[in-house]
């Protein structure tokens, strides 16, 4: 019988997490370190990135911060070089940064388009490497949309296709490439939604649980894809969306379920 605990153990592995200063990236760095990985924390927010690394070390893990702008090819190349100078190889590479400019397509300027594409799409391509388990960040907006999110959603859909394409190119070398697709997570970036309880509740109602996720719940999916437990998973996008993409609008009319699963 397989040693299932060991399959999830990341002891001795090296991970690079881009976007580690906050939100899903921060929780991913903490999760990977908690499972035994040495974690290089990268983000353009120097202070918060260093705080993430310090928190990992305070909890008994290994972490080192490197300031990196996810939209700049030069910064990502420097990050890769720094990681490889310290370790024989990078076993796990996670990138979570994303940018949305909420405007209709006709309102988008060339500058807006460049910013969204540079961070979401180009930044993901720059981050791809030829080793280990690579995990990018897509979104439910890759398959479900609302006004003002078309450009962002298109970039996230492209990430899912990039993952498939790169998986097909590097699989023969033992490299795995996957993405996560979160829906709504309680993070510092989504804190403004709490100032609009009506909108906050509306989005919660789009899930089958009628609640937002927390970043740790999404990070658990990252940890799975990073581990040997996912050794036969590549080219996939794992939806961590609370059932957002399983239903067409908020669930209604079900107040109590009887023993046979029918409405009572």
User: Which pLDDT belongs to residue 263?
Assistant: 37
**Selection from 90, 83, 71, 75 nearest residue 131 by Cα:** 90
Query: Is 203 known to be catalytic?
Result: no
| pLDDT < 70 regions, the chain | 250-264
Q: What is the CATH number of the domain that holds 189?
A: 3.40.50.720
Within a domain: 107: yes
Position 184 scores a pLDDT of 92
For 88-102, what is each residue's pLDDT tens digit? 999 999 999 999 999
Residue in 4, 108, 126, 152 annotated catalytic: 152
- Cβ atoms 175, 163 nearer than 8 A: no
**Residue 185 domain-assigned?**
yes
**Residue 202 resides in a domain:** yes
pTM of the prediction? 0.92
Would you state the pLDDT for residue 252?
59
Would you say residue 263 lies in a domain?
no
Count structural domains, the chain: 1
Q: What is the pLDDT of residue 262?
A: 44
Rounded-to-integer distance, Cα 44 and Cα 158, Å:
24
| Nearest of 180, 169, 157, 166 to residue 127 by alpha carbon | 166
pLDDT of residue 153: 96
133: domain range?
8-246
**Domain-located, residue 261:** no
- Please report whether residue 180 resides in a domain: yes
Asked, for residue 210, whether it belongs to a domain, the answer is yes
């Amino acid at each position: 019988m397989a040693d299932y605990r060991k399959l999830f153990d990341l002891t001795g592995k090296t991970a690079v997490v881009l976007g580690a200063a906050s939100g899903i990236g921060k929780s991913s760095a903490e999760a990977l370190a908690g499972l035994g990985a040495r974690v290089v924390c990268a983000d353009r927010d120097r202070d918060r990135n260093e705080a993430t690394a310090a928190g990992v070390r305070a909890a008994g893990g290994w972490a080192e911060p490197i300031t990196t702008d996810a939209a700049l090819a030069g910064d990502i190349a420097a990050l890769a070089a720094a990681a490889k100078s310290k370790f024989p190889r990078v076993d796990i590479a996670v990138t979570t940064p994303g940018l949305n400019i909420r405007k209709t397509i006709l309102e988008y300027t060339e500058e807006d388009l460049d910013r969204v594409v540079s961070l979401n799409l180009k930044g993901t391509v720059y981050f791809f490497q030829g080793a280990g388990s690579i995990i990018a960040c897509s979104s439910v907006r890759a398959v479900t949309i609302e006004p003002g999110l078309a450009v962002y959603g298109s970039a996230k859909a492209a990430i899912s296709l990039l993952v498939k394409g790169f998986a097909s190119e590097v699989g023969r070398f033992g490299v795995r490439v996957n993405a996560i697709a979160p829906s709504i997570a309680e993070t510092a970036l989504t804190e403004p939604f709490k100032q609009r309880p009506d909108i906050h509740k509306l989005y919660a109602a789009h899930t089958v649980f009628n609640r937002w996720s927390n970043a740790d719940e999404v990070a658990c999916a990252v940890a799975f894809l990073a581990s040997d437990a996912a050794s036969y998973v590549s080219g996939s996008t794992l939806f961590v969306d609370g059932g957002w993409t399983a239903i067409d609008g908020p669930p209604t009319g079900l107040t109590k379920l009887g023993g046979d699963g029918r409405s009572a």
